[in-house]
Structure 1
Amino acid sequence: MRYVVLSLSLLLSLFGCTGNTSSVNSPGAAPASSQTEFNPAWLSSQAASQALAKGEVSSELLVSYYLQQIDTHNKAGHQLAAISDINPDALAQARQLDAERRQGKLRSALHGLPVVLKANIATNDSMPTTAGALALQGHLTASDAALVSQLRAAGAIILAKTNLSEWANFRGEKSASGWSALGGQVRNPHLLSHTPCGSSSGSAVAVAADLALLAVGTETDGSIMCPAAINGIVGIKPTRSSVSGEGIIPIAEAQDIAGPMARTVYGAALLLEALVTPAAKNQFAVSLTEAAAKPPTTKKVLVVRAYDKQDAALAPMLDKLTAELNAAGIEVVSTDNWQLPPELYQAELKVLIYEFKRDLEHWLTTYQVPAERDTLAEIVEFNRAQGEAALAFYGQEYLEQAAAIDLAADYAGYQQALAASRKLAEQALDQYLRQQGYDAIILPSYGPAWPIDHINGDDFNFGTSTAAAVAGYPSITLPAGYSGILPLGVSLVGLPWSEPELLALASLLEQQLAAYQRPGFVAELSN
């Protein structure tokens, strides 16, 4: 099998998006910076912070670089489709933060670094908050989501918003991850014919393709872990309630949470430090960036080998990981038993459907969506009236099921499902983390990316996010190997509030495995 590789600018001109990307707003060329000798390409967050501190680069130059990257590789009609909207005030904000730095005022370690946000996160600016849905096209919110307020206070520059699986992949069955009616199809920069996974697909691809330094994604079950793993970057799904969900277009409060995406563990820790609430910070003994720089105190881990035969690259990848852990003095016990009960998935879906109606309608009312579309029933009818423009490729079964919920009459059943799902998920993890004393569970995150298919939808071979997602336990995915040219990640799962130790362990594996690779922007595979 050979790879068909084109130059990035050429191959991006050959493929069109499946949807409308006309909402992408690119400002004009940025003014030249005095730090022209500094090359910000493929910069790590740590290197960016150090360069800013030394005066080798300005925030204005960083923002200018990423705006140029987006302008070159994410224009309407080009197929990465990772960025949906650009903040026209980003350069002005960068200049202001540069001025503060010159005056000796630093808001945090994130000061002056650009960040992109998933398009389901509310911002009080000229960028719409849409979840990729035609029903919310152009919708501007009158206030920032809580995490956005925190990022601004920390000195982050909100550079752009990212495309996603429409309604965070909760519109209907047989969807293809990374597609939305407003943003088109996000594509995997390692192999452009293949899925970026979702729903935080644009956030992952923006970071993986060097259109952004850092990104915020959101997860209900797998929406950070899968795109991060499949695009070859680091993603963190934090402990339940550690990051405020206020202002994020929801699926379900029981499981929704935002988290960082970066090319390195340090970058993810840096961004997570700014995202977590003050109450959450009190749960951690050390800062998250300090934790990421320290050797782990991990004594014993469980490595799940249940998926070794799903792809030929998985067993050697986990063999190498085990050897590196043993060399670091960490005891590794392997198991090929990892089977969650079907009742867990059934209860989870019942919870998500119920809370989708309750939580989305609250968001629609709170964030001033026009009155004719402030209920799920009205969105369902809007989509039907718009036909193919709103419902291309697949249906809206989840929207319809949620719209039909009677919140009062169905409350008791919902409560039973919520209790059952959490109990089953916690049991699956606690038998190892609490009862047997493992410091972490390590699993292959997902199988390799599959071809994008708008007829049959996604073709997951396996995924391992559900237990941590439902239980609300933290998980980190980082690059660990490759299946051909397609990235493979491993997930580290720990008890609630164990992020510092998971970050230390992830940093060790990042150094020893050295598995990160820049994407090759391969157009397709040819026999």
Structure 2
Amino acid sequence: MTSVEAHAGPKVEEASIADLDAMLAKGTATSVSITQAYLARIAAMDRKGPTLRAVIATNPDALAEARASDARRKAGKALGPLDGIPVLIKDNIETKDLPTTAGSLALRDNRTGRDAPVVAELRKGGAVILGKTNLSEWANIRSTKAMSGWSAVGGLVRNPYALDRTACGSSSGSGAAVAASFAAVAIGTETDGSVVCPSSMNGLVGLKPTLGMVSRTHVVPISHSQDTPGPMGRSVRDVAILFSTMVATDPADVATRDADKYRRDFTAGLSADALKGVRIAVLHPDMPDTLKVRYEAALAVLKAQGAVLVDVEAPKDGGRGDAEFEVLKTELKADLDAYLATTPNAVTTRTLDQVIAFDEANKATEMPFFGQEIFLDAAKAHGLADAEYLGARAKSLRLAGAEGIDAMLKKADATILVEPTYGLPWLSDTVSGDNFTGPSASELPAIAGYPHLTVPMGLVKGLPVGLSFIATAWGDQAVLNVGYAYEQASHARVAPRYLAVADGGAGLEAAR
């Protein structure tokens, strides 16, 4: 796909924020020319070429924002490392210049004219809002048989490493877009796995922050107990730069009340020596032998960089997963109803019940592949004061935090927990939906609200896999530090090649 770079503009493929800043500082590129270069890649590759379907809409004001950035830079008033840098935003996060659909036709007229506070922070830093990315519709909470990366608005996101494989979700478009260099960085959101899974399966770095580090106001919700936006990029440094701009206290979001205490330049602590003497608790979940080989190689890198590795056993589920699901369904009804009440009059679905009715009335376009059984269950929830819900939240939080991550770290006398992020990207399947196989690191930190960073661990059978670094609350700097040191020692990330199928060796023909 290098032919996309043949125009006279700057080369943005695989360019980092530092690369783009250097172009801007030297005058070899402007924010306008960089923005145009990204728009050209999107035009050539998103609905043509490999047809990634990673972007729902580009921002009609992007070039005007880029011109404003160029004017600031010329006047010596650049706002920081993100000034003039194009950023993509997942389409469940409001921006004042585009609709916010969550991938559903029910919200196609959701033009609120407001920025979510996290987007407002990016604009304060001078970032160019390039557009909105596709996603698993309703952030993958509609059906137990969903196909990750599909939405009625945007279609199916395809994985740039193998176009027949899942990009995972729900931040699938953000993952595929950054992997394909449609932007250097993007914003995703996570409730349980929706930043780290698409990051892992698209060869990216992704950070699910401590709950409360980033505002959730004006983000289409699932669960106030677990939802959070998070940064995604091709390097730890790029993610740290983006995250530094995202963190801010939001009076409308009580979870962010402590955020200012932890606001900083998260790149300042990044060092190739950050693993020296760090005690790391190591999990060994069941996984295919091919992934195990890659994981053992990653652990060898950590050890070679001076980390002290201590094996630990994963806690028993103890009903944790069922309790989490009860929480998500209850909060979905309450939180989504509250959000929909704030949308413009043009949005006629004002409650979850009305969304369910809309989907049924528009079955051919909204439910061609899977239904809405989770929505139907959530509609029966008894509210946030319900004793069963309150008990489920207390149980899941205890099992994930005090008796989960905290207990493992205490037993190992460690500050960081490490394990494979997920298994390999599975085949996208319109009949059976997602086929989650192999390990999954997302549940415990998602429920506990703890930081979770995934960093590329290389390719297995031609497909990306990630390595997870997890800490306790407010340990975001710690996971970035060790993730950066691992990244600098391993150089494990491999750029995508947009293959029709994975380059995994002998295929079905060899099995005849």
Seen in structure 2, the aligned counterparts of structure 1 residues 144 and 447 have a Cα distance that, compared at 3 Å, is: same
- Matches of residues 327-476 of structure 1 in structure 2 within 5 Å? 327-335=304-312, 337-368=313-344, 370=346, 372-407=348-383, 411-426=386-401, 427-461=403-437, 462-476=439-453
Q: Which residue of 2 aligns with 1:191?
A: 162
Please, which of 283, 288, 291 is the counterpart of residue 304 of structure 1?
A: 283
Segment drifting more, 311-320 vs 228-237: 311-320
Q: Which residue of 1 aligns with 2:455?
A: 478
Seen in structure 2, the aligned counterparts of structure 1 residues 173 and 285 have a Cα distance that, compared at 3 Å, is: closer
Q: Which residue of 2 aligns with 1:219?
A: 190
Seen in structure 2, the aligned counterparts of structure 1 residues 78 and 315 have a Cα distance that, compared at 3 Å, is: closer
- Matches of residues 102-141 of structure 1 in structure 2 within 5 Å? 102-125=74-97, 127-141=98-112
- For the 8 Å contact 2:9–2:33, the answer to whether it is kept is no
The answer as to 2:133 corresponding to 1:162 is: yes
CA distance in 2, matches of 1:366, 1:342: 38
TM-score for both structures, normalised by structure 2: 0.92
The answer as to 2:246 corresponding to 1:268 is: no
Q: CA deviation at 1:120?
A: 0.3
Q: Which residue of 2 aligns with 1:100?
A: 72
Helix, strand or coil: the match of 2:348?
Answer: helix
Q: Deviations over 1:423-478 (max 9, x none)?
A: 11001101122454211000100000110111111111131100000000001001
Segment drifting more, 75-84 vs 438-447: 75-84
Q: CA deviation at 1:173?
A: 1.8
CA distance in 2, matches of 1:145, 1:464: 28
Helix, strand or coil: the match of 1:519?
Answer: coil
Structure 2, unpaired ranges of 5+: 250-256
Amino acid at match of 1:417: A
- For the 8 Å contact 2:109–2:346, the answer to whether it is kept is no
TM-score for both structures, normalised by structure 1: 0.89
Q: CA deviation at 1:76?
A: 6.9
CA distance in 1, matches of 2:259, 2:342: 28
Amino acid at match of 2:107: L
CA distance in 2, matches of 1:154, 1:391: 40
Q: Which residue of 2 aligns with 1:80?
A: 52
Q: Which residue of 1 aligns with 2:229?
A: 258
The answer as to 2:302 corresponding to 1:325 is: yes
Amino acid at match of 2:398: K
Q: Deviations over 1:351-376 (max 9, x none)?
A: 00010011111111113254631011
The answer as to 2:24 corresponding to 1:52 is: yes
Segment drifting more, 433-442 vs 82-91: 433-442
Q: Deviations over 1:39-93 (max 9, x none)?
A: 2221012221232223232111110110000000112796310000010110111
Please, which of 233, 252, 273 is the counterpart of residue 295 of structure 1?
A: 273
Q: Which residue of 1 aligns with 2:252?
A: none
- For the 8 Å contact 1:132–1:183, the answer to whether it is kept is yes
Seen in structure 2, the aligned counterparts of structure 1 residues 294 and 315 have a Cα distance that, compared at 3 Å, is: closer
Amino acid at match of 2:325: L
**Identity among equivalent pairs (%):** 38
- For the 8 Å contact 1:166–1:181, the answer to whether it is kept is yes
- For the 8 Å contact 2:281–2:412, the answer to whether it is kept is no
CA distance in 2, matches of 1:434, 1:339: 13
Please, which of 277, 282, 292 is the counterpart of residue 315 of structure 1?
A: 292
Q: Deviations over 1:229-252 (max 9, x none)?
A: 011110000001110000000000
CA distance in 1, matches of 2:297, 2:124: 42
Q: CA deviation at 1:291?
A: 1.8
Q: Deviations over 1:145-203 (max 9, x none)?
A: 11011111111111010000000001112111000111100011100011000000000
- For the 8 Å contact 2:205–2:239, the answer to whether it is kept is yes
CA distance in 1, matches of 2:165, 2:245: 32
The answer as to 2:220 corresponding to 1:249 is: yes
Seen in structure 2, the aligned counterparts of structure 1 residues 8 and 40 have a Cα distance that, compared at 3 Å, is: closer
Amino acid at match of 2:279: K
- Matches of residues 51-70 of structure 1 in structure 2 within 5 Å? 51-70=23-42
CA distance in 1, matches of 2:327, 2:2: 43
CA distance in 2, matches of 1:380, 1:354: 16
Instruction: Work out the number of aligned pairs and report it.
Output: 492
Helix, strand or coil: the match of 2:159?
Answer: coil
Amino acid at match of 2:71: A
Q: CA deviation at 1:253?
A: 0.6
- Matches of residues 165-176 of structure 1 in structure 2 within 5 Å? 165-176=136-147
- For the 8 Å contact 1:9–1:73, the answer to whether it is kept is no
Q: CA deviation at 1:314?
A: 2.4
Amino acid at match of 1:196: A
CA distance in 2, matches of 1:78, 1:332: 41
Helix, strand or coil: the match of 2:269?
Answer: helix
CA distance in 1, matches of 2:462, 2:50: 22
Q: CA deviation at 1:8?
A: 8.5
CA distance in 1, matches of 2:2, 2:155: 19
Amino acid at match of 1:512: A
CA distance in 2, matches of 1:169, 1:99: 41
CA distance in 2, matches of 1:490, 1:231: 13
Please, which of 466, 484, 497 is the counterpart of residue 474 of structure 2?
A: 497
Amino acid at match of 2:41: Q
- For the 8 Å contact 1:9–1:72, the answer to whether it is kept is no
CA distance in 1, matches of 2:49, 2:291: 36
Seen in structure 2, the aligned counterparts of structure 1 residues 327 and 471 have a Cα distance that, compared at 3 Å, is: same
CA distance in 1, matches of 2:274, 2:105: 46
